[in-house]
Structure 1
Amino acid sequence: MRRLVPALAAALALVAALAACSGGHDRAAGPRARAVWQPRPGLAWQWQLDGRVDPSVDVPVYDIDGFENTASDVARLHRDGRRVICYVNVGAWEDFRPDRRAFPRSVLGRPNGWRGERWLDIRQVAVLRPLMERRFDMCRDKGFDAVEPDLVEGYGNDTGFPLTADDQLRYNRMIADIAHERGLAVGLKNDLAQIPQLLDDFDFAVNEECAQYGECALLEPFVAAGKAVFHVEYTEPTAAFCPLSRRLGLSSMLKRPELSTWRKPC
């Protein structure tokens, strides 16, 4: 489970409303290396970050760890007719990744609550951009269709840096651009308050526990734009959130926090 700080739905709704009134974000899309996949609302999916992928789940979309899975794993899923999303952490340093020594100490902040992880200073885009470009190159070269960049709401957490909402918007747009330049679709992970500003930059959303915190309605702009919302709950029973998920057009399931193969979809 990657959700770190529960948001207050009322506060998020206010931020979203203010951003919508300001007209949001409008800019021309940059050049893209290949046609970008656009997942549509309602697609069933599997989210497995615990080790190498188990390809036995019969769903059209898999979201798996980009480092722990090989090009052969992705090709196997493609042969079975799946689209495959590459999970990559872009907001925190991880001491167990093969590129861990490429991150200078100056960008490492406080621990984020997950073993071996520390927040990144996302203001240092000149340092972080080439590191993220190499990670996204890995996703592209292994044949992934999309990227799930994790921890893109550090500004709302105790990172050790004075991050602002503007810092986060700048960084998240950079991440989306890096993906699109490589022909990869890209999902907005959580960061509900900035959906109005970032909707045009991202091709789908990934959300944790919007039902538990009464926030699922904040994801409606993605569905209205024809973009999938891949959603999980960890503690709520399916009977408590599936009716709402179906009404909103979310792709929802119950998962265990370790994100193993087990799933219970709506």
Structure 2
Amino acid sequence: MAAGLGGCAADAADVALPPAGAEPDYQLGGAYPPAGAVGVVARDRSELPADGVYSICYVNGFQTQPGELASWPDDLLLQRDGETVFDPDWPDEALLDTSTPDRRERVAAMIEPWIAGCAAAGFDGVEFDNLDSYTRSDGALTLDDNLTLATRLVELSHDAGLAAGQKNAAEDAATLRDRAGFDFAVTEECAAYSECEAYTEVYGDHVIDIEYVDELPRPFAEMCADPESPPSMVLRDRELRTPGDAGYAFETC
């Protein structure tokens, strides 16, 4: 077992990174067989990995997953004036309280079985969402609080044989790579918001970007051709529907 919370990140030498430049699909809304050219698929931890491709397991590491609020002890949920603090954009996701060593250790203990489950299911990597929850805490949480927990989650991932992916948080990419030990990045709309270089300067070609059809500032083909865009990009519908559902969208560069 790796060192306790706050130690150095575990050795990542034996984990496999997502193949550089592979066509990705982002299937958090439901699993389905990927298109033939797809080489990387991300799915929720409740799903099985896709066969024959590099598979990433989604874990909501810093906020509660929708429908799972009751499984968390109240004192691990961030409180303000006696009320649980929720993400204003995702009102069914409560912020986890990472403000003390004890709470961080207990949060990590809750997440560790999920990481182990991802590995046992056959995933190759795991992405941790809401690393930037501290920005929604009105100062109750700090980057260092979340960074300390992130370091532990990376250790646990490496111990399980999984590569660890940073999800979003462009402004913290260099710090998360250098201090927490993340191996790759999964981004949403980095091309739409001109943030891709913040990730590619840190992770090179091991950046997977998801753009959404409802907020494209220019044609997706132009985004693909932009030299600042990562080579692995996919265009999806915001709800991440499955094929056959109304509104389903999927396109790669």
TM-score calculated relative to the size of structure 1: 0.76
- Identical columns (%): 31
State the shift of 1:218 in Å.
1.0
| Aligned mate of 2:25, from 20, 23, 46 | 46
> What is residue 111 of structure 1 aligned with on the other side?
86
The amino acid that maps onto 1:94 is Q
> Hey, what's the Cα distance between the residues in 1 that align with 2:57 and 2:191?
25
Which residue of the partner structure matches residue 184 of structure 2?
204
**Structure 1 residue aligned with 2:57:** 86
Q: 1:102 touches 1:131 (CA, 8 Å); kept in 2?
A: no
Question: In the alignment, does 2:96 pair up with 1:120?
Answer: yes
1:39-88 CA-partner distances (Å, limit 9, x unpaired): 2431111101112x111422111100111x14xxx3xx33xx21111111
Secondary structure, in 3 states, of the residue corresponding to 2:95?
strand
RMSD across aligned positions (CA): 2.2
Specify the SS of the correspondent of 1:147: strand
Contact 2:59 2:126 in 1 (8 A): yes
The CA deviation string for residues 125-176 of structure 1, in whole angstroms up to 9 with x for no partner, is 121011010111111111111111111111112x366111211221221221
**Amino acid in the other structure paired with 1:181:** D
Distance (Å, rounded) in 1 between the aligned partners of 2:91 and 2:228 = 37
Runs of 5+ unmatched residues, structure 1: 1-26
Q: 1:142 is matched with which residue? A: 121
Once residues 92 and 29 of structure 1 are traced to their aligned partners in structure 2, the CA distance between those partners, rounded to angstroms, is 22
Matched pairs, number: 224
Match of 1:36 in 2: 15
Q: Give yes or no for contact 2:42–2:55 (8 Å, CA) kept in 1.
A: yes
Q: CA deviation at 1:28?
A: 5.9
Give the Å deviation of 1:119.
1.1
Aligned partner of 2:220 in structure 1 is 238
Question: Does the CA-based 8 Å contact 1:85-1:146 persist in structure 2?
Answer: yes
Which ranges of structure 2 fall in alignment gaps of 5 or more residues?
A: 1-6, 79-84, 243-248
Please point out which of 216, 224, 229 is paired with 2:207.
229
Deviation of residue 239 (structure 1)? 3.1
- Extract structure 1 runs of 4+ deviating beyond 6 A: none
- Counterpart residue number, 1:215: 195
